Amino acid sequence: MSLTVTTSSVTYPIIVDDGALETLPARLAEFGLRGRLWLVSDAGVAAQFGEPLAERLRAAGREVQSFVVPSGEASKSPEQLGQLYDWLIGGGVERRDALLALGGGVVGDLAGYAAATVLRGVALVQLPTTLLAMVDSAIGGKTGINHALGKNLIGAFHQPRLVLADTATLTTLPPRELRAGMAEVIKHGVIRDAGLFEELEALAATRGWTDTGRDGFAAWAASDAARAGRLTAIIRRAVAVKVAVVNVDEREEGERITLNYGHTLGHAIEKLAEGWSLLHGEAVAIGMHAAARIAAAMGLCGEDLVERQRALLAAYGLAVAVPDGLDPEAVLATAMRDKKVRAGRIRWVLPTALGHVVVRDDVPEAVVRSALQAV
């Protein structure tokens, strides 16, 4: 089953299925990608999935080159991008070729930006292997690297030709990575699909997960006999939210900003909490909780929404507290450098009800400080 991104400039499928990577050679031929293939993955993914995938492609008669970047956010850097350019250009990359980004958000962003810029653009295929990448970062064409002053400040829109998400890869993820990915799934429920949020609540209740069972979801995702179909269906539903938004706003000129729910403070917390090594989804979960508190303080939603979101995040093992010692003033100052700042004002994505958010640029700093102190 596939979903389709259709904008004024591009159309491409998103295929979410258990075992989807096995179909990659046929999919590439189907979409006319017949040049050389440049496979980029990270150290954690390469041995497990990269080499078997390269061999499968070679067995199908494709010429494949492989490049491995260090695992972790530090690879989204100008230095690592330069090494990627050296490999591509030194190897004779041509415009008819395609980059395959196999891994999580770091690999997708880095390889995507290289594909957007080398030779002024070559084809990109996103092959996400993390939950977060499957439901969010691999879809919609945002690519880029980090700057010393903030995340994702250097980049370009470059839509992939195909997104192929193999949910079987999720069974090998560490529990913490799965938990972090659930922040984005829950986010999609809050901003646009109340039914998805309720389904996640029902699943957690059925499985008996509690606030103290941080790995309950991860254990189920890795071992339950019914896991493949149920989890794949949840992922498709979350992907459908991202697709619907991108289809009406490809370049974040309007509705697409709603996908940044929890990210304004989340990005700032992620950057400043380097000593705690927060994952992106973990920081976003904290940002979502703070944003809901801001919304309640502004009279946009009730405390019941704040509590339901907090309880669901906790049920999937996500903390909503800022690490001890993190300065709220530093978080606010870092947030002011966010890409969503316009005319010196932060545009906040705030919930009004499950499945609906608004964008406001009139939130008093005192309200933000209070929310940060509360979390």
Catalytic residue from among 151, 158, 187, 280 = 280
Residue 247 identity (one-letter amino acid) = N
Contact yes or no for 141/88 (Cβ under 8 A): no
242 is catalytic: yes
DSSP 11-28: EEEEEEETTGGGGHHHHH
Angle between helical axes of 328-335 and 365-374 (0-180°, round to 10):
130
Catalytic residue from among 192, 247, 260, 347 = 260
Catalytic residue from among 120, 253, 274, 342 = 120
Name the residue with tokens 């703070």.
290
Calpha distance 117→112 (Å, rounded) = 9
Calpha distance 230→221 (Å, rounded) = 9
Residue 183 identity (one-letter amino acid) = A
Residue 355 identity (one-letter amino acid) = G
Region at 355 (left for phi over 0; alpha for psi -120 to 50; beta for the rest): left
Name the residue with tokens 């067995």.
59
142 is catalytic: yes
DSSP, collapsed to helix, strand or coil, labels residue 28 as: helix
Catalytic residue from among 142, 289, 293, 347 = 142
199 is catalytic: no
158 is catalytic: no
Catalytic residue from among 188, 256, 289, 340 = 256
Angle between helical axes of 280-297 and 263-272 (0-180°, round to 10):
130
184 is catalytic: yes
DSSP, collapsed to helix, strand or coil, labels residue 77 as: coil
247 is catalytic: no
Instruction: Provide the total of helices (H) and of strands (E) in the chain, helices listed first.
Output: 15, 11
In the structure encoding, which two tokens stand for residue 35, read together? 């040049």
73 is catalytic: no
342 is catalytic: no
Catalytic residue from among 177, 250, 252, 282 = 252
Catalytic residue from among 267, 271, 310, 339 = 267
Catalytic residue from among 187, 263, 293, 310 = 263
Catalytic residue from among 27, 62, 188, 242 = 242
Calpha distance 244→36 (Å, rounded) = 32
Name the residue with tokens 């509705």.
255
Residues whose CB is less than 8 angstroms from the CB of residue 42 and which lie 6 or more positions away in sequence, other chains included: 68, 69, 70, 71, 72, 75, 103, 104, 106, 107
Helix (H) or strand (E) holding 58: helix 51-59
DSSP, collapsed to helix, strand or coil, labels residue 221 as: helix
Active-site residue numbers?
120, 142, 184, 242, 252, 256, 260, 263, 267, 280
